[in-house]
Structure 1
Amino acid sequence: MAAELDTSSMSDALVILGAAGLVIPVFARFRITPVIGFILIGVAVGPFGLGKLVYDRPWLNYVTITDPEALSIYAEFGIILLLFGIGLELSFKRLWQMRRLVFGLGAAELMIIGTIAAVVLSMMGQYWTGALALGFALAFSSTAIVLPISGTSSPVGRAALSMLLFEDIMIVPIIFILGAMAPNAQAEGWEGLLDTLWMGGLVILAMMVLGRLLLPYLFAQAARTKSPELFLAASMLVVIAASLATSVVGLSPIVGALIAGLLIAETEYHGEVEAIMEPFKGLALGVFLITVGMSIDLLTIWDNLWSILGAVLLVLVFKAVVTGVLLRLMGARRSTAAETGILMASPSETTLIVIAAASAALLIQPGTAQFWQIVTAIGLTVTPMLALLGRHIARRVEPAPEITTPDDSEQPVIIVGAGRVGRLVSDMLATHGKPYIAIDSDSDQIETARRLGYRATFADAARADAMTRMGVERSPAVVLTMDEPVLAERLTRKLRKLHPDLLIVARARDTEHAAELYRAGASHAVPETLESSLQLSEAVLVDIGVAMGPVIASIHEKRDEYRVQIEREGALDYKPKLRTSTAEG
């Protein structure tokens, strides 16, 4: 029996990994979001797809999901990681700045849509408690699908984020209220809600205090080990501990995950945590989308085709209109209101949770629950297409304003290394009004630099995605200041391959190392021994009475002479063409 269970679990894991390996590259090739692909895979391998044929063809057991319920915990973990990622992109300061949108726009959107939908369903014959449950269930929009499409920095993304954050906050109160409205519920339902709220408040306060004290120390220790595995383990520990803490007192685990992300966003390690968690978040969200697809019964849809399609269309149009009107009333542009309204029109994964809670509380019949679950699943499936439709309509409603792209000189110079040399380069850039960002994988150096007032953050430049995350494609220059010759050569070669026009200035130990850096593609390699000799010469010449002007001119001449010699010795095959704006700057 145990062996059979292990084989079943293993085949399910292979189906999921195979789906990810197939869906992500194929849909990326055609520039289509993989959301649709994962949902279609769920339809195909689920109990209503090929799973129906397993009894007649046992070999299909190896390419289908045999136990859909076993995936639910992984699907929920995907949502937890998504909210954790949202927290990393925000901060308490930014969240406070969004309070008007979250508790104004977000509250108005949920309450108005939920109330109107409940009234309409009640007029159609649904008992008022069930109508209220279904109305608010349909008012939710999909955090898991909408935010990866919209992002959080654009006007559409900020509006969507504010509404989704309020919806996530309201999940627990709504489910508690549904339980209290159940025919067999007693007063304990309302008392349980109050207990959850005050205990949840205490837990959140404790998390914020302890997080600010402990998280910087925890990630600093992980960073000192130079071990990505330990960094990942620390990140997972924080996410799971925060989610469990809020779950224990009755709050949703996604609340804990969001707060954990917000707390880490206040530290200098948030970029590294975000990068190291990204692959796991993507895979877990893929599992969630597969579970959505597995809930779609194509035969049931065919038998009730017109009523289901009519319900889907009514929900999408109704939510899009109400959301768009609310955004316009709050001052949003016509294009932003139209695109956000259409993007937020579909129901949510939370809709499925609320419908299940209402069914368990006997507020709606099982057949009604199944009907609206299918409507929700179809709505989730078409969300990416709604996003495309929203962008198209937004362009027709109001052309996008002309945006002037700033030149490279307005982007920060990336200084790799926050030690003595890196801080000196930072001082010189700041003196001349040039923005910079210093990065280092040594947490002690980062702590020292930040304490001294430098703009520095934790990042391991040796990681493939670290420099991309820092915006190297827009940066006017990268300065390599670390005293690690092998790493400097490797990083120079990698940057030159990916960014042929990038200005790369590297610190070299001596002239031989400088020649190696030129061969790797450095724009300038500055040997320490040469510069110290030139500075000694300058000091002695000035002190013995030689005028400063001729001394500086001769120093520059000698530096150029050595540079030409080093380049010649390095047998330079490729001299990068520098960006015009950088050369002039």
Structure 2
Amino acid sequence: MSTPHDAVAPLIEPITFLAAAVVAVPLFKRLGLGSVLGYIAAGVAVGPFALGLLGEAERVRGVAEFGVVLLLFVIGLELNLSRLWEMRRSIFGLGTAQVLVSGAFIALYPYLVVGRDFSASLVAGLGLALSSTALVMPLLQERNELEAPHGKAAFAILLLQDLAIVPLLALVAFLSPLEAEGEGSSWLELAAVVGGAVAAVVLAGRYLLNPFFRVVARFGTSESMTAAALLVVLGAAALMATAGLSMAMGAFLAGVLLAESDYRHELEADIEPFRGLLLGLFFISVGMSVDLRLVAENWLALLAAVSVLIAVKTATLYGLARLFGHGHDTALRTALTLAQGGEFGFVLFSTAVGAGVMAPEHANLLVAVVALSMAATPLVVRLGQPLLCGERGRPEPEEDFSGANGSVLVVGFGRFGQLACQVFLARGLRPTIIDNDVEMIEAAGRFGSRVHYGDGTRLDVLRAAGAGRVKLIAVCTDAAATTTKVVEVAREAFPDTPCFARSYDRRHSLELIRRGVAAEVRETMESALAFGREVLVGLGAPRAEAERLVDDVRRRDRERLEAQIEGGLYAGMEHLRVRPEPLAPPASGRAAAQDAAAGGG
């Protein structure tokens, strides 16, 4: 017969984890040290080497690694194959050079200074050359730097490092004195297995996933969609793990193949809560792995090792990034961000111990070095800011949507959005405004306007800003690509809320109409018509006649746009009074001139 204690026992560890996160993370964010360092500190406190409230780190990390898997899936959803191809030089050039050069330099320290043998030093150097995807990507996301040049460079290097774990594990097997002759798979067999697994994920992603999610969305519930998303992620991860690749790589590949899907934003929103909690658990497991007794006994050696690791990786990465054409600021930011050891080092070092390449006490010290370097990363990034040549990195404001209860959600508060809001306010409507331009938000605040900081292309931001309860969403952003993405997210997640959008030109208007906006307004249309009207008046035309002519042009333009919706870009040309062409176009440029006339304005 079970006792009350038996019933409560399974809940002790989850309660401890949640309590540690709730206490430590807000405290560390308040101190400006970031949530990652808060999780690691919480892990140190509740781990087996301090308070002992949680068990072994390895047992927790087995579940926590799924946080890294989900993180890579979400990152993949933001990319596609064409963007990956554009990044090939950074991935395979800079990424490969970073692993090899950093690994070689780091290996010299245990080999020459500590006196380890060559095999153990080589594995240690290459393992420490790998940085932490689980740490760096949330750090960049937290600082809104994923799309910055150094964010893209860091991601490319991390992607190559994830790929590098397979040959590094093979290297450990090759160096192992326990490896019997004739055992193990050949390189050809390994390549065939890996190639088959990748091909299976690619083919499934290309031909099965979209129909699968279409059926689930049509006949299932929101919970079914969440379950389907987790099934796809974990299935791809398991397939890659079976082939010897990292689970994170399988999830990333599945995300990339779904990047063009109509369901990607819903998938991202479904995965987000699991990703956040599991990543937090991962960092707590990193903190739990820090053996405080070992650190106390070897604090001087560990301090020296962590300092050497960070210095060598920063210097090497900076030099390589400069060699690959990056500027000083981008190279330095990338180097500082990737200066730590990574989670795959844990896997490599434990494998090396099992293969007899490395002594257990050596591996334990290396695990402590990795954990301490990860904990030091937020501080290293902050201390490196004065070395930048450009802006000293003004801190981003926190997303705060308290008081976001307007009846209209306005995304973008530039020149266009400011004038539109004047019209809304004149009618007595209360807009909720979001923008991600810090200087503009501060300027608006000086004039008494409340603008919430947030990226309108993110579903979680739109939800927090009230997109699900407002009467209308007005997208007033400057860049056409940004406007399209906001509309895409809003129409998919909030199909019952009308979406009005500012468009860049006629082509953009057609694209927005195809994506389901209730109305679009070309940013120069009305100002150009007003300008034309005033010119006619200035030339002596009666204002009534000028108004009538402008109304005629507006009507013809609308009829032409409606014809283009049905018949394509070149339809409705009969509605043009004059077909504009560039001055003296070359003979070969006639087609381009016609294309410009069809799509312009």
TM-score (norm 1): 0.67
Paired residue for 2:284?
290
Encode CA deviations 1:219-252: one digit per residue, 9 max, x unaligned. 2223335732122111101001101111222222
State the distance in 2 between where 1:389 and 1:474 align.
Answer: 37
Alignment match of 2:246 (pick from 237, 252, 269): 252
Contact 1:177 1:189 survives alignment (8 Å) = no
Alignment match of 2:340 (pick from 338, 342, 346): 346
Counterpart residue identity of residue 121, structure 1: P
State the distance in 2 between where 1:2 and 1:111 align.
Answer: 56
- For the residue of structure 2 that corresponds to 1:107, the secondary structure is helix
- For the residue of structure 2 that corresponds to 1:383, the secondary structure is helix
- For the residue of structure 2 that corresponds to 1:265, the secondary structure is coil
Contact 2:24 2:41 survives alignment (8 Å) = no
Change (3 A) 1:459 1:13: closer
Cα drift, residue 467 of structure 1: 4.9
Paired residue for 2:45?
44
State the distance in 2 between where 1:393 and 1:6 align.
Answer: 56
Paired residue for 1:123?
112
State the distance in 2 between where 1:486 and 1:347 align.
Answer: 44
Cα drift, residue 313 of structure 1: 0.4
Paired residue for 2:129?
139
Alignment match of 2:385 (pick from 386, 391, 394): 391
Alignment match of 2:217 (pick from 217, 223, 226): 223
Contact 1:8 1:66 survives alignment (8 Å) = no
Alignment match of 2:353 (pick from 352, 359, 375): 359
Change (3 A) 1:341 1:474: farther
Change (3 A) 1:248 1:472: farther
Paired residue for 1:495?
none
Paired residue for 2:443?
none
State the distance in 2 between where 1:479 and 1:115 align.
Answer: 48
Kindly, what percent of the aligned residue pairs are identical? 34
Change (3 A) 1:486 1:376: closer
- For the residue of structure 2 that corresponds to 1:347, the secondary structure is coil
Contact 1:90 1:265 survives alignment (8 Å) = yes
Counterpart residue identity of residue 18, structure 1: A
Alignment match of 1:91 (pick from 80, 85, 103): 80
State the distance in 1 between where 2:393 and 2:35 align.
Answer: 30
Paired residue for 1:82?
71
Counterpart residue identity of residue 346, structure 1: Q
Change (3 A) 1:105 1:360: same
Paired residue for 2:14?
13
Change (3 A) 1:227 1:181: same
- For the residue of structure 1 that corresponds to 2:127, the secondary structure is helix
Counterpart residue identity of residue 282, structure 1: G
Counterpart residue identity of residue 391, structure 1: Q
Change (3 A) 1:399 1:195: same
State the distance in 1 between where 2:473 and 2:70 align.
Answer: 24
Residue segments in structure 2 that go unaligned for 5+ positions in a row: 395-411, 421-456, 501-546, 556-600
State the distance in 2 between where 1:105 and 1:393 align.
Answer: 22
**How many residues are paired up?**
438
State the distance in 2 between where 1:471 and 1:122 align.
Answer: 62
Paired residue for 2:439?
none
State the distance in 1 between where 2:187 and 2:65 align.
Answer: 22
Counterpart residue identity of residue 42, structure 2: I
- For the residue of structure 2 that corresponds to 1:185, the secondary structure is coil
Contact 2:57 2:289 survives alignment (8 Å) = no
Paired residue for 2:100?
111
Change (3 A) 1:488 1:366: closer
Alignment of structure 1 residues 495-510 onto 2, 5 Å: none
* Counterpart check, 1:207 vs 2:201: yes
Cα drift, residue 121 of structure 1: 2.7
Counterpart residue identity of residue 20, structure 1: A
Contact 1:79 1:285 survives alignment (8 Å) = yes
Cα drift, residue 100 of structure 1: 0.6
- For the residue of structure 1 that corresponds to 2:179, the secondary structure is coil
Counterpart residue identity of residue 51, structure 2: L
Cα drift, residue 162 of structure 1: 0.9
Cα drift, residue 364 of structure 1: 1.5
